[in-house]
Amino acid sequence: MVSTATTCPFCACGCGFFLLAKNGEAAGVAPGESHPVSAGKLCARGWCAHEAPSWGSRLLRPMIRRNRRLEPVPWNEALDHVAGRLRELIAAGKPVGVLGSARATNEENYLAGRLARAGLRTNHVDFCYHSQCRPLLAGIEDVTGGSTRPIALRDIESCDAVVLVEGDLAKTHPRAAASVLKARTRGARLIAIGCARTQMARVASRFLQVAPGSEGEAINALLAAALRAAGEEKQAARCAGYDALRGDLQAVSATDEIREAAEWIAAAERAAFLIGPSAGCGDASRKTAAVIATLAAVTGHLGGPGSGLLPLLGRSNARGACDVGLAPDRLPGYEPIEDGEARRRVESVWGKALPSGAGLDADRMIENVSGLVVLADDPAAVLSAGQRARAAIERIEFLVALDAFVTPVVEAAHAVLPVASFAETEGTVTNMEARIQRVRPAGPLPGDAVEGWRALAELSARLGAGGTWNSAADVFHEIERAAPRYGGTAARIFDGGWGSALTEMPEAVRFNVQAAATQELTTAERPFVLAWDGAFDWGGDPLVSFSPTLSRDSQSERKLFPNGFVEMSGDDADALGVRAGWQVKLGSARGEAIVPIRRRDGLRRGTLLAPYAFRDCLAGVLADEGITAVQVERA
Amino acid sequence: MQPLVLTIAKRDIAQWVGALLESGKVIAPVRGPCGEAAFCRIESPEEPLWEFENPLAPPKQFLLPQTDPIVAIRRNGGVTTVAPIYDDAPRILLNVRPCDVRGIAFLTRMHEMEPADASYLRRRANFTLIALACHVPCRLGFCVCSDSGPFLSGGYDVQLTDLGERYLAETGSEKGEAAIGHASGLFRPASEEEVAQRQRLETVARGRFGDQTCHFASAMRRISTRRVDDALWEQMGDWCLECGGCNFICPTCYCFSVKDRGGDGRWTRCRMWDSCQYGAFTLEASGHNPRAQRGERMKRRFFHKVSAQYYVRDGATGCVGCGRCIKVCLGGTDMPAVVAAIRRRAWHEQ
């Protein structure tokens, strides 16, 4: 039994564990007490992390599609073919793009971005999960004026107040939920805002139940009450737009329970504000993120030690993917593509002139490019477009998939390059606290697979953008130069032990505060709000779908509800005269759909939630907007 | 058979470990790359730790691995053969703490019940357990509450006690005598004073337990007679994040699921750790789940661990007081916290 200290590949909490391998195969997990994030605690996903690499369908040979069939070929032939076809497309004036992944390492994502910009000469570069988390990060930036240091999970434990804008934290980020529970046992006040009485809402000191999409309204009320409670303009000097904010909130009234909650926040020595992405509803979730950041700023909990905001990113390396420049309008360092200084820096590191102008994001890329390189991801499983993304991918003239697992993208690809899973690769990932951590190989690469960074380096070399990297660490050293916030971290990361370093991030000092715009979604004719529940479906991720233990829930749900379902409060179901499993007809401005219901205790009346995994079943009534008003009747 | 009571000088211990290494695979706590102690197969006599906090992962992984191939299945033409996979390698578990020895005894008792589990039992039969008594109790341990430590009165092959300059070695079986026999020249019979010193150390250790206590008897009365309100289980269920860590880390938990892997006519059936705290653990094919709520699952877990019904069957509580669940539990619903809540009839106050 060989034991390897590594980082969990699931959510962006970034827990660490020892991956145990027997005869070269991942066979178990042991917790590590000294890990700076997890300290010996893991969630179910972490405890079962060894399963997917050893039980999953693995890609073992490079393959090229010939006569509609993928045929194994030697590596050189596959790489030459991929480079040649991409060059042909570019020469013919057709657009090409690259999608990295929130499941890939920083080194892989950095080289994917570099391949696009320096090799393919395009800014069509992104990662699919970016579609889900971009509005959230943008909303925070709107207030802080740039990236700002998130609060660390362990610091949440010593907060006096925690504000949680809920998805379902206990399910999405159990390690973060553990920190909130720890704070709660120490006597912290927990204010949960959401539409369903989730586990966290049940242990909260105050649960503000609101319709999906109306979180901003509740936060506005908290904000109005907090401004009154915070005394005379303590933070005004640091907040641009403070007077306008006061004006906007003049008319907002607060109930006693909101006023009390606002007092808890205002009086707290330390407070944490946790918010996750919501699927679709881009602009609305950007506004919600901005107003929660505003609440943190005006109560003096932003830009100081021990307090702060935490964007709850769903997948392990979403932040790292942003940091290394996997965005059509950002460079390594997450700096705007038009920033002259950043451009010069990256150009000098790469020795290449950068293409200018923002490229296409993931959603548009799959619809518009003729050649696409997809690293470790399945766009249809991540993007809100679902099966429409699948159809778009299948129309692409030349699709290249680099993955460890046999995913639907691999089945549609024209060229397949097998790369290592997290269990066999060397590299780093960056968690949602902005902590860079090591990923280490616990066993040998299966079949002819190579480490992802090596495959991308070979491809880059063939497209005139090669480098002199001999290891993942060499790539990291280059990232240090290209993305300044990673600079100087290598010494701590390659120091043995867990290898963990917080990135250099500025503390915001001035804020652009703003209230949330509120709007009524429902009408007399369509009195229900239908929204997606969650912004990511683990059941569609190979790390879960290939794990015998972890896939049980999602598989049984898919078996029991092949046509999806919506969740409805028991009171609403009784009022409509429908029982669990019965069908209802939903009608929105977009169209109609008939689906069975499940009763959900503690769901707000007038709310219907559709699991993100089943978004395709409801595409007739609800699509990219992520939230809509519907009429409901018994079918 | 009269147990041997011997001593060995600390300076000779590596030589003994060297002799043990020649007789089989030796597993012992070693200092891992991140600074913590972990059970690991050793290659050299200097590796084992002699002063250490008990590793967070118990040695269960070596007796009942998280992924354990148990059956080889072959199909050749129309003929399918099914052959059990046994692991008969001799292994010595060195410096295992009393709580973990009791944990292994618990696992063995369960696997001996009809139908006996040959896969586990054959592996277990080839294990020699060399225990190291705890003359200083660990920070979160409460083995004294479940009669699992700090010293053992039986169940070991050899029990070592740190006497300062020397270790006292008590044998508990022929396997233990054989383990000492590999280097019998290094041992000499213990003096009366040395035996008395061991007794004193045990008495002192029993008085030095720390913050954690676990009053099993009164919790057992309430659990066994259904006098724990469902509302309390439901409330505690809200603090359970369903990680399964309490099961995986518990020296006495053994629940598993079975999965086949392979293809092209060759499959391996594996036993894999499972957790009774996972929603899908009791999920039936119809979609019905007899324990759909977290509180119900937690109630089931503690009924198995602490009820009189199981105490009678197993001869022990399903808890050896190692305190590991306190470290791994995400929500703080560990054994002492739940037992205390049951006695108090309330989860923590806010």
pLDDT value, residue A21: 96
Please say whether the beta carbons of A54 and A20 come within 8 A.
Answer: no
* Beta-carbon count within 10 A of A367 CB: 15
CA-derived radius of gyration, chain B: 22
Please name the helix (run of DSSP H) or strand (run of DSSP E) that holds residue A605, with its range, or none: none
Q: If you average pLDDT over residues A433-443, what whole number do you get?
A: 97
Q: How far apart are CA A327 and CA A360, in angstroms?
A: 9
User: Do residues A147 and A86 share a domain?
Assistant: no
Residues of A in contact with B261 (CB under 8 A): 55
pLDDT in tens, A249-277: 999 989 999 999 999 999 999 999 999 98
DSSP A117: I
pLDDT value, residue A278: 84
Describe the strand order of the beta sheet including B166-171 as a list of residue ranges: B37-41, B25-31, B91-96, B127-132, B158-162, B166-171, B5-9, B187-189
pLDDT in tens, A390-437: 999 999 999 999 999 999 999 999 999 999 999 999 999 999 999 999
CA-derived radius of gyration, chain A: 24
| Nearest CA-CA partner of B304 in B338, B332, B346 | B338
Q: Which residue has the tokens 């977290």?
A: B294
In a domain, A17, yes or no: no
Letter string b/e over residues A169-205, b meaning 16 or more CB atoms within 10 A of that residue's CB: bbbbbbbbbbbbbbbbeeebbbbbbbbbbbbbbbbbb
Determine the angle formed by the axes of helices B294-306 and B216-224, rounding to 10 degrees. 120
Task: For residue B321, give both structure tokens.
Answer: 């007081």
Does A28 contact B65 at a Cβ distance shorter than 8 Å?
yes
A175 has a chain B CB within 8 A of its CB: yes
Q: How far apart are CA A17 and CA A30, in angstroms?
A: 6
Contacts of A243 (CB under 8 A, 6+ apart): none
* Beta-carbon count within 10 A of A93 CB: 7
User: Do residues A307 and A177 share a domain?
Assistant: yes
Q: How far apart are CA A462 and CA B32, in angstroms?
A: 42
Secondary structure (H, E, C), A440-478: CCCCCCCCCCECHHHHHHHHHHHCCCCCCCCCHHHHHHH
Separation of CA A208 from chain center = 25
Residues of B in contact with A560 (CB under 8 A): 287
In a domain, A382, yes or no: yes
Q: If you average pLDDT over residues A199-223, what whole number do you get?
A: 95
pLDDT in tens, A580-631: 999 999 999 999 999 999 999 999 999 999 999 999 999 999 988 889 999 9
Confidence of residue B25 (pLDDT cuts 50, 70, 90): very high
Please say whether the beta carbons of A161 and A261 come within 8 A.
Answer: no
pLDDT value, residue B50: 98
Q: How far apart are CA A447 and CA A439, in angstroms?
A: 20
Residues of B in contact with A30 (CB under 8 A): 38, 56-57, 61
pLDDT value, residue A235: 80
pLDDT at B350 over 60: no
Pairing of β A371-375 and β A398-403: parallel
Domain range enclosing A625: 528-634
pLDDT in tens, B223-256: 999 999 999 999 999 999 999 999 999 999 999 9
How many Cβ contacts (< 8 angstroms) between chains A and B?
130
pLDDT in tens, B252-304: 999 999 999 998 899 999 999 999 999 999 999 888 999 999 999 999 999 99
Output phi, psi for B189, to 5 deg. Answer: -60, 145
Pairing of β A125-127 and β A96-100: parallel
Q: If you average pLDDT over residues A280-304, what whole number do you get?
A: 89
Q: If you average pLDDT over residues B141-158, what whole number do you get?
A: 96
Domain end, chosen from A311, A326, A358, is at A311
Q: In whole angstroms, how far apart are CA A205 and each of A170, A184, A264, A267, A307?
A: 16, 9, 10, 15, 19
pLDDT at A476 over 60: yes
Domain end, chosen from A311, A341, A370, is at A311
Please say whether the beta carbons of A245 and A298 come within 8 A.
Answer: yes
pLDDT value, residue B323: 97
* Beta-carbon count within 10 A of B347 CB: 23
User: Do residues A491 and A588 share a domain?
Assistant: no
CA distance A372 to chain B (A): 33
Output phi, psi for B297, to 5 deg. Answer: -70, -40
Q: Mean pLDDT of all residues in chain A? A: 95
Please say whether the beta carbons of B113 and B165 come within 8 A.
Answer: no
In a domain, A522, yes or no: no
pLDDT in tens, A51-68: 999 999 999 999 999 999
Determine the angle formed by the axes of helices A215-229 and A242-249, rounding to 10 degrees. 110
Q: In whole angstroms, how far apart are CA B214 and each of A46, B209, B238, B306, B330?
A: 29, 11, 22, 11, 19
Please name the helix (run of DSSP H) or strand (run of DSSP E) that holds residue B292, with its range, or none: none
Output phi, psi for A31, to 5 deg. Answer: -75, 155
Q: How far apart are CA A20 and CA B113, in angstroms?
A: 30
In a domain, A4, yes or no: no
| Nearest CA-CA partner of A6 in A469, A316, A385 | A316
Confidence of residue B220 (pLDDT cuts 50, 70, 90): very high
User: Do residues A303 and A375 share a domain?
Assistant: no
Does B66 contact A27 at a Cβ distance shorter than 8 Å?
yes
Nearest 5°: the CA angle A198, A611, A405 is 115
Describe the strand order of the beta sheet including A2-7 as a list of residue ranges: A2-7, A16-22, A25-31
Type of residue found at A505:
M
In a domain, A260, yes or no: yes
Nearest to B287 among A20, A177, A556 (CB): A556
Q: How far apart are CA A343 and CA B186, in angstroms?
A: 72
Confidence of residue A519 (pLDDT cuts 50, 70, 90): confident
Q: How far apart are CA A603 and CA A607, in angstroms?
A: 7
Q: Which residue has the tokens 């998939």?
A: A401
Counting every residue written for chain B, the total comes to 350
User: Do residues A547 and A479 share a domain?
Assistant: no
Pairing of β A271-275 and β A308-311: parallel
Q: If you average pLDDT over residues A448-457, what whole number do you get?
A: 98
Q: Which residue has the tokens 């979730």?
A: A285
Residues of A in contact with B283 (CB under 8 A): 552-553, 556
User: Do residues A271 and A338 share a domain?
Assistant: no
Does B65 contact A199 at a Cβ distance shorter than 8 Å?
no
CATH of the domain at A593: 2.40.40.20
Output phi, psi for A597, to 5 deg. Answer: -110, 155
Does A3 contact B38 at a Cβ distance shorter than 8 Å?
yes
pLDDT at A232 over 60: no
User: Do residues A380 and A435 share a domain?
Assistant: yes
User: Do residues A87 and A149 share a domain?
Assistant: no
Q: Which residue has the tokens 């700076």?
A: A36
Please say whether the beta carbons of A386 and A415 come within 8 A.
Answer: no
Instruction: Give ipTM to 2 decimals.
Output: 0.97
pLDDT at A6 over 60: yes
- Interface probe for B, chosen from A2, A10, A19, A41 (most Cβ of B below 10 Å), is A41
Please say whether the beta carbons of B281 and B297 come within 8 A.
Answer: yes
Output phi, psi for B287, to 5 deg. Answer: 100, -15
Q: In whole angstroms, how far apart are CA A187 and each of A160, A268, B337?
A: 7, 12, 17
Determine the angle formed by the axes of helices B118-125 and B98-112, rounding to 10 degrees. 140
Q: If you average pLDDT over residues A213-240, what whole number do you get?
A: 86
DSSP A358: -
pLDDT value, residue A352: 95
pLDDT at B11 over 90: yes
Please name the helix (run of DSSP H) or strand (run of DSSP E) that holds residue A567, with its range, or none: strand A566-568
Determine the angle formed by the axes of helices A256-267 and A215-229, rounding to 10 degrees. 60
Question: Number of folded domains in chain A?
Answer: 3
DSSP A386: T
* Beta-carbon count within 10 A of B69 CB: 17
Please say whether the beta carbons of A84 and A78 come within 8 A.
Answer: no
User: Do residues A192 and A89 share a domain?
Assistant: no
pLDDT value, residue A303: 83
Domain end, chosen from A277, A296, A311, is at A311
Q: If you average pLDDT over residues A93-101, what whole number do you get?
A: 98
pLDDT in tens, A153-196: 999 999 999 999 988 999 999 999 999 999 999 999 999 999 99
Residues of A in contact with B59 (CB under 8 A): none
Nearest 5°: the CA angle A247, A256, A213 is 65
Q: Which ranges constitute the DSSP H helices of A250-385?
A: 256-267, 282-298, 318-323, 340-350, 362-368, 379-382
Nearest to A170 among B66, B241, B329 (CB): B241
User: Do residues A199 and A92 share a domain?
Assistant: no
User: Do residues A385 and A244 share a domain?
Assistant: no
Please say whether the beta carbons of A225 and A259 come within 8 A.
Answer: yes
pLDDT value, residue A233: 67
Confidence of residue B349 (pLDDT cuts 50, 70, 90): low
Please say whether the beta carbons of B211 and B290 come within 8 A.
Answer: no
Q: Which residue has the tokens 């000097």?
A: A237
pLDDT at A518 over 90: no
pLDDT value, residue A231: 64
Closest residue of chain A to B292, computed from CA coordinates: A553
In a domain, A541, yes or no: yes
pLDDT at B157 over 70: yes
Closest residue of chain B to A173, computed from CA coordinates: B241
Please name the helix (run of DSSP H) or strand (run of DSSP E) that holds residue B297, with its range, or none: helix B294-306
Q: How far apart are CA A16 and CA B35, in angstroms?
A: 14
pLDDT in tens, A238-252: 899 999 999 999 999
B344 has a chain A CB within 8 A of its CB: no
CATH of the domain at A70: 3.40.50.740
Type of residue found at A122:
T
In a domain, A11, yes or no: no
Q: How far apart are CA A212 and CA A206, in angstroms?
A: 18
Task: For residue A23, give both structure tokens.
Answer: 């005869």
User: Do residues A484 and A559 share a domain?
Assistant: no
By three-state DSSP, how is residue B27 classified? strand
> What residues of chain B, 165 to 194, have a C-beta less than 8 Å from chain A?
none
Does B34 contact A177 at a Cβ distance shorter than 8 Å?
no
pLDDT at A329 over 60: yes
Nearest 5°: the CA angle A340, A342, A346 is 120
Q: Mean pLDDT of all residues in chain B? A: 96
In a domain, A480, yes or no: yes
Q: If you average pLDDT over residues A377-394, what whole number do you get?
A: 96
